[in-house]
Amino acid sequence: MKKNLRYWLLYLIFVTLITLIFCEGFARLMHLAPLLNSQYSFFIQDPYLPYKPQPFSVVEGRTKLDLFDYHYQYNQYGFRDQEYSLEKKPGVYRILGIGDSFTYGIGANFEDTFLRQLEVKLNNEDYSRQVEIIKAGIPGYFPEPERMLLEHYGVEFKPDFILVGFLANDIMGTHLGIDYMSLDKQGHLKTKEAQTLGRLGSFLYIHSHVARIFLHKYVEYIQDSKYKLKIYDVMDFSAFYAPSWEKIEKEFIKMIDLADSINAKIGFVYIPQDNEWTIKNSYPRKRLAGFCDTNNVFFIDVTIPMGQTAQTTQESLYWQFDGHCTKSGYKVIADTLYNFFQKKEYL
């Protein structure tokens, strides 16, 4: 009886292992599992920020959607930028750019990011002053961590002008909160729900395609049940996002005060997401414009130039599925900002 039971137990284990091996092989062969995302790695903890890229590190690879190769190189401050001294040289006009992954330039080589394109264009003009742009965009950031970066690090650069990138998805980031994303011990950004998987869950997610499929769906289900984001309501006024808007504007007021404290000008750049120019009376765009007018600060709207370019070019301005700008899309942002600075007498 015991031998018979042992036989069936071993048989069950054997069949289970063979089934798992077959499923794992099939999942790998058919590419069923979501690809691992190494784009958001090499981050570190910071005394004042929720996280930041590790200074002097390099991250490269290909996106999990197999859309483009990436190469991200960070300077001594953890910015995707060339090296600049903290002290501003005499005669230099310094711009500080803060924002999220669009300001950081996901989807483009460094030379094609909109802040770098703008810097090159401004320095190619016959201005009497050299222009430096501190490129301090960080993926996953929204107004609160951007204000923290400005307060604890940005003002130390003594910028003459502060550019703040803003997208409609910053409203959802604000709703989720600053503790929504955190770092694991390997320096990867994870949501709170993904962190609950623990070491074993993380190991299985990385090394098993079958486990990754189920764990990915599990985390998505928990997030959808917990946060109940009304994504389509972002473009219109929604009571659901009203507290988020209030928090955003409080953070922007703090940014304006910080700019005033160092005698710097500040402007808010509205960057549309793909096809947003087709939406009449986009609420985020209209509300930000009203906020800037009320507080007597600059508002630079990229929506119309992006829409006009989309109608006249065969080139894609955004990466399909990924949503970030291509080189051509970032050029539209850079050109819009260049036209803005040309009309001013700062340079």
- Residue-wise pLDDT for 21-52, tens only, equals 877 687 777 777 776 666 666 889 999 999 99
Model's pTM, two decimal places?
0.88
| pLDDT, tens only, 1-12 | 556 777 778 878
* Number of Cβ within a 10 Å radius of residue 148: 19
Regarding the domain with residue range 90-177+231-343, which homologous superfamily does it belong to in the CATH classification?
SGNH hydrolase (3.40.50.1110)
List the beta strands (DSSP E) in the chain: 43-44, 52-53, 58-62, 69-73, 92-99, 130-137, 161-166, 181-183, 189-191, 265-270, 298-301
- Look at residue 16 in the predicted model and tell me its pLDDT: 81
Question: What single string gives the DSSP state of each residue in 166-217?
Answer: E-THHHHHHHH-TTSEEE-TTS-EEEHHHHTTHHHHHHHHHH-HHHHHHHHH
Q: Tell me which of 343 and 315 has the higher pLDDT.
A: 315
| pLDDT at 68 > cutoff 90 | no
| pLDDT at 230 > cutoff 80 | no
Secondary structure (3-state) at 92: strand
d(CA 184, CA 44): 9
- Look at residue 17 in the predicted model and tell me its pLDDT: 84
pLDDT band for 312, please (50, 70, 90 cuts): very high
- Look at residue 39 in the predicted model and tell me its pLDDT: 63
| pLDDT at 274 > cutoff 80 | yes
